[in-house]
Amino acid sequence: MSLEAVSLDAVALAEPRPIGLRLLANWQRVVVEVWDCHPGVPVRRTTPDPLLPENQAECGRGLEIVHELANRWGTRRLSAHVKTVWAELLLPAWQSS
């Protein structure tokens, strides 16, 4: 679900620019990275933007989903034109109680 949320936001905002996806995994964790070439800064929205048309009200909520599901997450700028959103998900046997 976290991968889907971040990827859909990247596709919606980056078109027609390219996006990228990288999955890193070991026996403790999975790290999902999605990068795009949209110049904007990722924004975590906890409520729909009342200024957006109703059919776009859910746009941009991917980071809120990632925040709720991931153990850690963040963003980083790779260059002036490329940014990455990443999320780390610990596998159940490695999560502290």
Greatest Cα-to-Cα distance within the chain, rounded to the nearest angstrom? 44
| pLDDT attached to residue 24 | 93
Backbone angles phi, psi at 63, to 5 degrees: -70, -30
| pLDDT attached to residue 20 | 87
| pLDDT attached to residue 4 | 59
Domain that holds residue 86: 2-94
| CATH code at position 77 | 3.30.565.10
- Read off the pTM: 0.69
| pLDDT attached to residue 64 | 83
Report the DSSP beta bridge partners of residue 83. Answer: 36, 77
Number of domains in the chain: 1
Q: What count of other Cβ atoms lies within 10 Å of the Cβ of residue 87?
A: 23
pLDDT digits (tens, 9 = 90+) for 11-69: 555 556 788 889 999 999 999 998 888 777 777 776 666 666 655 555 567 788 888 88
